[in-house]
Chain A
Amino acid sequence: MAWVNAIIQGILTGGLYALFACGLSLLFGVMKVVNLAHGDLAVVGAYIGIGVIAVTHMPFLWSIPVMLILMAVLGYVLQRSLIQAALSRGELTTLIVTFGLSIVIENGLQQFFTANTRGIGVGSPIESSSFSLGSQIQIGWLQVIIFALAVIVLVALQYFLSASKYGRLIRAVADDREAALLSGVNSRHVFGIAAAVAFATVGLAGVAYGMSGTVAPTTGTDTILLFAFAAVVIGGLGSLWGTLLGGIVLGVAQQVGAQINISYEALAGYVIFLIVLVLRPQGLTARRTQS
């Protein structure tokens, strides 16, 4: 029964990892850029959530839209200024700029908010309530809600990309930037929109992470960025459902590893990542053929 429990917990954690990963995957798909500051932006989202509640005393649920808007604005502005400037100078520059950004954000948060870990109080009994399956499996409602949230975000993102005006523009720019430019698409604005969406999702992931545990300035690089990247690679690029699958595989691997020995938790996830990298570098779901 302990094993079944580990697998169920792993699947639920996997939803959170997919939520981390979808923004990373979106930006890579559109701009062919790995944003090394992705994990730290999740922490920024969580800290914005904590800050908004602390300053305005608004209920937890209301702080989420505020955080989403702030993160989206941050994403658009950062994309149009720093990241776009780096993009036009080449891939190496973009990597160095996002890595620099990651280090600056992480150490800046540490400087201003100390290295202490913080949690986000939901302010509702749901935080600690759970239901049981059979006699030995306890599932927290919060975990189920976060998993459902991840699925909703992925469905919404899929719908946004396939059916909305900006979604079509994003796909057009991602497929062939020159052709899109010739058709009169302002690609920089489209990149900005994509970054705004990606930042909002990663901010939400950061808040979800802070709800289910604690965040600290170093969480962004220690955990979130690497887990998100592992989920993207395991799942395979080009598919949001692949990302969900990747997140679940990673989550299950970690929980099963922890079941064997608690100190194997993170290592088991990375071992699965490396196995996929060697045996199936295109990911578990086949990669879209690239033009």
Chain B
Amino acid sequence: MSAMGEAAVLSGGDIRVTRSRRNVWWTGMAALAVVVVFALFPYYVYAGTTAILVQAFIILTLASMWNLLAGYAGLVSVGQQAFLGLGAYFVLILAIHGVSPFIGLPLAAIGTGAAALPLWWLVSRLRTGYFAIGTWVLATAVALFVQQFQSIGGGTGMPLSGLSGLDPTLLSAYTYWAGLLVTVLALAGVYFLLRSRVGLVLTAIRDDEQAARSSGARVGGARMLVFVVAAIGCGAAGGVLAIEQLQVVPGGVFSVQWTAEMAFAVIIGGIGTIEGPIIGTIVYMVLQQTLQQHNVWYLIILGLVAIGVTLFARKGIWGLADEKLGLRLFPVGYYLWSPGDRRGRKAVKPTA
């Protein structure tokens, strides 16, 4: 942690370097309190509400992963549905062999991460637009490949076994907790990854890839790590989806609409911030729930809003809030406090 060492040296004088302009110890406590409150939900809300929240958890997990890819590593992937689908299918395959889906879930996430390695090798040489459409082609190829196997449902999919013995109330509570756990792990994983050395490399790549390369940053390695982490996160979300729907349908889990939803949520909430995907997921869920009577309208409106936001308010909703209030709930950048300056000024461009 060379950056931390540097911070310690600097803080010997009048200059201080901190993670945030404001003291944020309460953010951690508040986040913990929110998680505890959410964890207690199955005891006092209707199952219908927890079912909606499971969808929100899936979208939030996916959005955090897409944010990591596009907002930090400059990898605009349109193929994340590949990993969502693989996660769902790994849970299904394990269930066919007698592994409980809830035990299969972490295994599926790890399996998806392992599958991401050869796929990364295929697309790693592609850049920007080529990468976007290359990942899309790859996801379609993966979907077609999976559908060749009749034993796991072929082109029509099959129901998830191994959960029929559970009481429905208990099952929905377990599903909810699994979704919550996956989301908390995803958010915490992204947060600590960005605060680590890799986070610094990613920030450097995002700001200027050539400069980062010539400073000796391991650009390729950092990108690969992000790709694999994002695959694990999307795989876990896919596993939760399979458990929630009690079936795996290839046309559903491998749909490019998943990537559209995660990308739009990130862009509307604020790309390149940890808080952005959370805000974006709330906007997404509100739109989806209000417009669900009207078929795909929520997706059309979401797409139009995302286009508008990316053109006219590039940093999204959270970016606007940050500009006005200097608010960072999950700081991963640095602030330099000059002597006598109580407000602090930006030393390293705050990144998240």
Q: Which of B215-230 contact A (CB under 8 A)?
A: none
Indicate if B11 sits at the interface (CB-CB under 8 A): no
- Would you call B141 and A34 a contact (CB within 8 A)? no
- Would you call A97 and B310 a contact (CB within 8 A)? yes
Interface segment out of the listed A67-75, A125-133, A134-142, A221-229: A221-229
Indicate if A52 sits at the interface (CB-CB under 8 A): no
The distance from the CB of A20 to the nearest CB of chain B, in whole angstroms, is 13
Indicate if A2 sits at the interface (CB-CB under 8 A): no
Expressed in whole angstroms, the Cα–Cα distance for A40 and B155 within the complex equals 24
User: Chain A residues near B295 (CB, 8 Å)?
Assistant: 110-111
- Would you call A28 and B129 a contact (CB within 8 A)? yes
Indicate if A55 sits at the interface (CB-CB under 8 A): no
Expressed in whole angstroms, the Cα–Cα distance for A281 and B123 within the complex equals 11
Expressed in whole angstroms, the Cα–Cα distance for A289 and B176 within the complex equals 55
Q: Across the two chains, which residue of chain B brings its CB closest to A86?
A: B311
User: Chain B residues near A86 (CB, 8 Å)?
Assistant: 310-311
Q: Indicate with 1 or 0, residue by residue over B77-106, a CB within 8 angstroms of chain A CB atoms.
A: 010000000000000000000000000000
- Would you call B267 and A104 a contact (CB within 8 A)? no
Indicate if B303 sits at the interface (CB-CB under 8 A): yes
User: Chain A residues near B311 (CB, 8 Å)?
Assistant: 82, 85-86, 89, 93, 97
User: Chain B residues near A233 (CB, 8 Å)?
Assistant: 130, 134
Expressed in whole angstroms, the Cα–Cα distance for A89 and B296 within the complex equals 29
- Would you call B70 and A100 a contact (CB within 8 A)? no
- Would you call B310 and A277 a contact (CB within 8 A)? no
Indicate if A99 sits at the interface (CB-CB under 8 A): yes
Chain B at the A interface: mostly helix, strand, loop or mixed?
A: helix
Interface size on B, residues (CB 8 A): 41
Q: Which of A258-278 contact B (CB under 8 A)?
A: 263-264, 266-267, 270-271, 273-274, 277-278
- Would you call B299 and A89 a contact (CB within 8 A)? no
- Would you call B296 and A100 a contact (CB within 8 A)? no
- Would you call A281 and B125 a contact (CB within 8 A)? yes
Chain A at the B interface: mostly helix, strand, loop or mixed?
A: helix
- Would you call A93 and B310 a contact (CB within 8 A)? yes
Indicate if A63 sits at the interface (CB-CB under 8 A): no
- Would you call A96 and B145 a contact (CB within 8 A)? no
What band does the interface of chain A fall in when counting residues whose beta carbon is under 8 Å from B? 35 or more
Indicate if A92 sits at the interface (CB-CB under 8 A): yes
Q: Which of B107-148 contact A (CB under 8 A)?
A: 122, 125-126, 128-130, 132-134, 136-138, 140-141, 144-145, 147-148
Indicate if A153 sits at the interface (CB-CB under 8 A): no
Expressed in whole angstroms, the Cα–Cα distance for A245 and B263 within the complex equals 34
- Would you call A226 and B136 a contact (CB within 8 A)? yes
Q: Across the two chains, which residue of chain A brings its CB closest to B125?
A: A281
User: Chain B residues near A185 (CB, 8 Å)?
Assistant: none
Indicate if A53 sits at the interface (CB-CB under 8 A): no
User: Chain B residues near A110 (CB, 8 Å)?
Assistant: 295-296
> A100-B310, A221-B256 given as contacts; is B134 within 8 A of A270 (CB)?
no
Which one of A89, A94, A263, A267 lies within 8 Å of B141 (CB-CB)? A267
User: Chain B residues near A108 (CB, 8 Å)?
Assistant: 300
Indicate if B307 sits at the interface (CB-CB under 8 A): yes
Q: Across the two chains, which residue of chain B brings its CB closest to A274?
A: B122
Indicate if B63 sits at the interface (CB-CB under 8 A): no
- Would you call B122 and A82 a contact (CB within 8 A)? no
The distance from the CB of A63 to the nearest CB of chain B, in whole angstroms, is 27
Q: Across the two chains, which residue of chain A brings its CB closest to B154?
A: A263
- Would you call B260 and A91 a contact (CB within 8 A)? no
Q: Which of B267-325 contact A (CB under 8 A)?
A: 267, 295-297, 299-300, 303-304, 306-307, 310-311, 314
Expressed in whole angstroms, the Cα–Cα distance for A191 and B307 within the complex equals 20
Indicate if A249 sits at the interface (CB-CB under 8 A): no
Q: Which of B128-183 contact A (CB under 8 A)?
A: 128-130, 132-134, 136-138, 140-141, 144-145, 147-148, 155
- Would you call A270 and B141 a contact (CB within 8 A)? yes
> A28-B129, A95-B76 given as contacts; is B140 within 8 A of A226 (CB)?
yes
User: Chain B residues near A264 (CB, 8 Å)?
Assistant: 148
Which one of A82, A221, A225, A263 lies within 8 Å of B307 (CB-CB)? A82
Binding site for B on A (CB under 8 A): 28, 32-34, 36, 82, 85-86, 89, 91-97, 99-101, 103-104, 107-108, 110-111, 221-222, 225-226, 229-230, 233, 263-264, 266-267, 270-271, 273-274, 277-278, 281
* A-B contacts besides A100-B264, A266-B140, A266-B144, 7 pairs, CB < 8 Å: A89-B311, A92-B76, A96-B263, A103-B303, A104-B307, A110-B295, A230-B137
Binding site for A on B (CB under 8 A): 70, 74, 76, 78, 122, 125-126, 128-130, 132-134, 136-138, 140-141, 144-145, 147-148, 155, 256-257, 260, 263-264, 267, 295-297, 299-300, 303-304, 306-307, 310-311, 314
27 contacts between A and B (CB under 8 A): A34-B132, A34-B133, A36-B132, A82-B311, A92-B74, A93-B314, A95-B76, A96-B76, A96-B307, A96-B310, A97-B307, A97-B311, A100-B306, A103-B299, A107-B297, A107-B299, A107-B300, A110-B296, A222-B140, A225-B133, A229-B136, A233-B134, A267-B141, A267-B148, A270-B137, A274-B122, A278-B122
